Homo-oligomer: A and B are copies of this chain.
Amino acid sequence: MLTERQRLILTAIVDDYISSAEPVGSRSISKRGDVGYSPATIRNEMADLEELGFLEQPHTSAGRIPSHKGYRYYVDHLVRLDDLSKEEVHRLKSMFAEKITAMEQVVQHTASTLAQLTNYTSIALGPGMFDTTLRHFQLLPLNEDTAVAIIVTNTGHVENKTVAIPPGISTSELDKVVNLLNTKLAGVPLIKLRSQLYKEIGDEMNKYVSHAQEMISLVETVLSGDEAHREVYLSGTTNMLNQPEFKDVDRIKTIWELLEETPALIKVIGAPGGEEQGTGIQVRIGQENTHAAISNCSLITATYSVHGQNLGTIGLLGPTRMEYAKVINLMQQVSQQLAVFMERYHK
C-alpha cells in the first residue's frame, strides 16, 4: 500500500515527533541522514501521506504531525523494537527475583516500576477471582452485635467485611455455621459460592442451627459484591503533567476524573483493542479508546494469566505521542516475566 520510501519517511516523522513534540518539517527530516532525499522530495511524499490520511497539518505553514491512522500504521508495521537498556533489564529482573510475596503486591510493584521507567501513568487491574476458590472462611465477633467476616482464597487474597450479628444468636451457633461452611464449601470457586450456599448447606443448617434463615442471609451479605470487586492500582499519575500536551488544566481534569472513577477505569482498561502481533499486548490509540476523556491518549495494555485463564491487566497511559517502541518492548518483557511468576505461584 505504501512505497518503501513513504514508509521510511513516515517512520522518520513519527520518531521525530515522538521525541520533540513539535510538528516536523521536510528540512529536518532531510538533515537526519537516514533519509537521503532533499527537502523538496520529502515534501512531495509528505503531501501524499497527508492525502492518504497518515499525516496532518496543524496549520498551513507548519510541519506535519502523525494522525491516529499514522500512529496505527507505525505501531502495526514500522516500529522497531530495539533492545532494552541495561538499567531497564536490571529493574525488571530484580522485581521478580524478590522473595515470595502476595500476587497483588507483585502486580502493584510491577505497575509502579513501569510508570517510573517510562514516565507515563500506569493502571493495574488486580487479579480477578474467576478461578480462585475458597480457602477459609471466618467470623469473629467483636462485641454482641458486630462481627468481622474474613474470606481467604487459595491465592492468598484476603477480603474482610464488618457485619451485624442478628440478635439472639450465640457464639457457639456462629461457630457451628462457620465450621459447616468451611467443611462444605472449601475449594469451591468464589463465583459459585452463593449459588452453592443453599444447595450444599441449606438442609444441614435447618437441621442443626436455630435462626438458620438469619444466618444464611448474614453469610449472603458477606459474599455479596465481592465477586465483582477488583482492585485498581495507579502509579505515576503526576508523570502526565510532564507531557507538553497536558499543560492545559482542563484536559488534565477530565483525565484525572476518569482515573478517580474505578468502575469506569476498569471498563476502559478491559475493553478490547488493536492487538500487537499475538503477544497479548494491546495498543489503543486515541479514539480507539472507549472513553472520551482519553481520546488523545494512547493506552498500552498487557494481560497476565494462568493456565490460559486471564487474571488481570496492566496498562500504561500516555499521550498518543508515546514512545511506542520502548513501551511495547517493556510490556512484552513484563508480560512474559509475569506469566512465569504466575505459573510458579499457582503451581
Q: Which residues of A contact B (CB under 8 A)?
A: 99-102, 105, 135-136, 138, 140, 142-143, 145-146, 148, 150, 152, 154-156, 158, 160-164, 237-238, 241, 246-249, 252-253, 256-257, 260, 347
Q: Can you name 20 A-B pairs with beta carbons within 8 Å?
A: A99-B164, A100-B162, A100-B163, A100-B164, A135-B140, A135-B142, A136-B140, A140-B152, A142-B156, A143-B347, A146-B156, A150-B150, A152-B160, A156-B162, A158-B158, A237-B260, A238-B253, A241-B253, A248-B249, A249-B252
Complex alpha-carbon distance, A105 and B161, angstroms: 10
Tell me which residues across on chain B come within 8 A of A253, comparing CB atoms: 238, 241
Q: How far is B154's CA from A148's CA once the two chains are assembled, in angstroms?
A: 10
Q: How far is the CA of A256 from the CA of B246 in the complex (A)?
A: 15
Q: How far is it, in angstroms, between the C-alpha of A257 and the C-alpha of B156 when the chains are bound?
A: 32
The A interface is mostly helix, strand or loop, or mixed, namely: mixed
**Pick the contact of A138 from B138, B247, B252 — CB < 8 Å?**
B138
Copies in the complex: 2
- Closest CB in chain B relative to A128 CB, distance in Å: 18
**Complex: A260 Cα to B138 Cα, angstroms:** 34
**A216 and B142 alpha carbons, distance in the complex (Å):** 27
Q: Please, how many angstroms separate the alpha-carbon atoms of A102 and B252 in the complex?
A: 34
Query: How far does the Cβ of A50 sit from chain B's closest Cβ, in whole Å?
Result: 31
Pairwise interchain contact A252-B241, C-beta atoms closer than 8 A: yes
Q: Quick one: which of A143, A162, A164 has the most chain B CB within 10 A?
A: A162
Task: Specify which chain B residues have a CB less than 8 angstroms from the CB of A156 in the assembled complex.
Answer: 142, 146, 148, 162
Closest CB of chain B to A253's CB: distance in Å?
5
Report the Cα distance A247→B138, complex, angstroms.
50
Specify which of B101, B105, B247 is in contact with A249 (CB 8 Å cutoff): B247
Cross-interface CB contact of A154 among B138, B142, B241, cutoff 8 Å? B142
In the A-B complex, the 5 residue pairs with the smallest Cβ-Cβ separation, listed nearest first, are A158-B160, A102-B162, A148-B156, A241-B253, A238-B256
Judge whether B150 and A152 touch: CB under 8 Å: yes
- A101 / chain B contacts, CB cutoff of 8 Å: 162
Nearest-CB distance from A238 to chain B (Å)? Answer: 5
Measured CA separation A256–B100 after assembly (Å): 32
Least Cβ–Cβ distance between A310 and chain B, in angstroms? 21
12 extra A-B contacts, CB within 8 A, seeds A136-B140, A158-B160: A100-B163, A100-B164, A102-B161, A140-B152, A142-B155, A148-B152, A150-B152, A156-B162, A237-B260, A238-B253, A238-B256, A241-B252
Report the bound CA distance from A246 to B237 in whole Å.
Answer: 17
Q: How far is B249's CA from A248's CA once the two chains are assembled, in angstroms?
A: 7
Q: How far is A102 from B100 in the complex, measured between Cα atoms in Å? A: 30
